[in-house]
Amino acid sequence: MAMTLYPWQEELASQLLAMRDELPNGLLIYGPKGIGTIDLVIRYARSLFCETPDINGEPCGQCKGCKMANACTHPDLRYVMTEAESIPRHIPFDPPSNAQKDRKIYREILIHQPRELTDFLNQTAHEAGGTRIVVVYPADAIRADAAATFLKNLEEPPAKTTFLLVAEDIDRVLPTIRSRCRLLRAKGPSYEEAIAWLKSQGIGDADDALARASGRPCQIIDEKRIETDPEIDSKIKEQLLMLSSLPKQVRDDLLRVLSMGRDLPLDRIAVKDGRTALPVAAVLPVIYRWGYDLLAVQQGLKPHYFPQYGESMVKILKGVKTEHLYAWFDTLKSLQRTVNHPLNAQLVIEQTLLRYRRMMMGKAFD
Ligand SMILES: [Zn+2]
């Protein structure tokens, strides 16, 4: 059995293990977020510095290489990671020199990061003849101005340097970056596997938890970990958790509004939570799942995510044209791709709800 963190990672772990002695220059591992891929890749990157790994590539955890890699002090292991992804994993993140004090945490890879990487790559490896590893995550959230510098790093790498890139959406990774990497797909668990795993982790209402996390089981555990991490400041915690999920009350409120169908009040379309606009990345999955359920109900099936709203769905779908429902759902699907672009997030949600209202009135939109 190869080195895995989760039961559904067998295949990926064996693929990584097979490359251990002949690492490509660039490896891009892609697949849904929240299934633990980045954590396996970090573990793999660290294991490459172990002096005495076992036959499955499992690091010993005791040698100097392991200790330094685990403490993030190994001079030949670098992370190019967003602040939002670094904090929960205790990976050091240096903000840019012009960073403001009360700013929001960064959710993109910024220009100073590949610049610092260039310096790192220009030095010779710490271990004579040793490998240097650069973990890049999320490779689909590299800001446009940082991408060119990053690409240069990738194009002219020093000998024995390997980039391990992890991305959720391969279509959002620049083609020029993609084409320099060998690709590996990370598969998520089946529904049953996810449920079984969550139950083994002591998650009581696994069905509901999984639906809330859009079917991404590791997100549920990651959130728990963030909530209980004494080293993360409470304000930062709030931001980290808001990125991935909605507070229950806000979610229920949103569902109530959606269940009003054509009577959805226009003043509720401006989705606000107190002074803060809701994060589109957290709102859209809820609307998306609502749409998924509406399609099921339209076909005479039971709603999957929100069974308690089954009756309301039947009611509000009366008079709704199936083609309008499909058209609206299609726009939702394409919107999912924009969720990491905070610009106009508010607008995106408002437009989605306006279209929803029109669709519910039996009208086409646009
Ligand atoms: Zn070791």
Do 267 and 250 lie in a common domain? yes
Same-domain status, 159 and 179: yes
Closest CA to 24 of 185, 161, 167, 184: 161
Provide the residue range defining the domain that includes 206: 189-245
**Centroid of ligand 1 to alpha carbon of 70 (angstroms):** 10
Q: 59 alpha carbon to ligand 1 midpoint, in Å?
A: 5
Same domain, 31 and 133: yes
State residue 81's pLDDT score.
97
Asked whether residue 274 is assigned to any structural domain, the reply reads yes
Distance CA 15, CA 24 (A): 12
- 150 and 233 assigned to the same domain: no
Tell me, in angstroms, the distance from the centre of ligand 1 to residue 159's CA. Answer: 23
Residues 66 and 144: their CA atoms lie apart, in Å, by 35
- Taking the centre of ligand 1 as the mean of its atom positions, its distance from the CA of residue 48, in whole angstroms, is 9
pLDDT for the residue numbered 159: 84
CA of 53 to the centre of ligand 1 (A): 6
Distance (angstroms) between ligand 1 centre and the Cα of 184 equals 26
* CA 68 to ligand 1 centroid distance, Å: 10
Going from the Cα of 119 to the center of ligand 1, the distance in angstroms, rounded, reads: 27
Distance 61 CA to ligand 1 centre (A): 5
Q: CATH no. for residue 67?
A: 3.40.50.300
Instruction: Out of 162, 185, 208, pick the residue that ends a domain.
Output: 185
Q: How far is the CA of 188 from the centre of ligand 1 (A)?
A: 29
Residue 299 has what pLDDT? 92
- Burial label for 94, CB within 10 Å (0-12, 13-18, 19+), is exposed
Question: Which of 245, 261, 288 is where one domain is finished?
Answer: 245
Output the CA 23–ligand 1 centroid distance in Å.
19
How far apart are the CA of 62 and the centre of ligand 1, in A? 5
Residue 124 CA, ligand 1 centroid: distance in Å? 22
The percent helix, strand, coil of the chain (3-state, each to 5) is 50, 10, 40
Ligand 1 center–CA 54 separation, angstroms: 9
Indicate if 136 and 237 belong to the same structural domain: no
Given 245, 266, 293, which residue is the final one in a domain?
245
CB 130 within 8 A of CB 160: yes
Residues 56 and 26 in one domain: yes
How far is the centre of ligand 1, averaged over its atoms, from the C-alpha of 20 (Å)?
Answer: 15
Residues of the chain with pLDDT under 70: 1-2, 125, 127-129, 211-212, 214, 242-248, 268-281, 336-346, 365-366
Residue 240 lies in a domain: yes
Residue 219 lies in a domain: yes
| Ligand 1 mean position, distance from CA 162 (Å) | 19
Task: Please indicate, yes or no, if residue 2 is contained in any of the structural domains.
Answer: no
* pLDDT the model gives residue 270: 59
Quick one: 134 and 217 in the same domain? Answer: no
First to last CA, the chain: 54
CATH code of the domain containing 319:
1.20.272
Q: Is 41 contained in some domain?
A: yes
Q: Looking at the domain assignment, is residue 1 inside a domain?
A: no
pTM: 0.73
Regarding whether 351 and 238 lie in a shared domain, the answer is no
Whole-number pLDDT of residue 26: 96
- When divided into structural domains, the chain yields a total of 3
pLDDT value at residue 85? 95
Is residue 52 one of the residues assigned to a domain?
Answer: yes
300: CA distance to ligand 1 center in Å? 57
What tokens appear for 249 in the block? 């009350």
Residue 176's pLDDT is what? 93
Q: Residue 127 Cα, ligand 1 centroid: separation in angstroms? A: 15
Q: Is residue 24 part of a domain?
A: yes
268 in the same domain as 215: no
pLDDT of residue 275: 38
Same-domain pairing of 297 and 175? no
Residues 59 and 99 grouped into a single domain? yes
Residue 92 and residue 20 share a domain: yes
Residue 66 C-alpha to ligand 1 middle, in angstroms? 4
* Residue 244 CA, ligand 1 centroid: distance in Å: 34
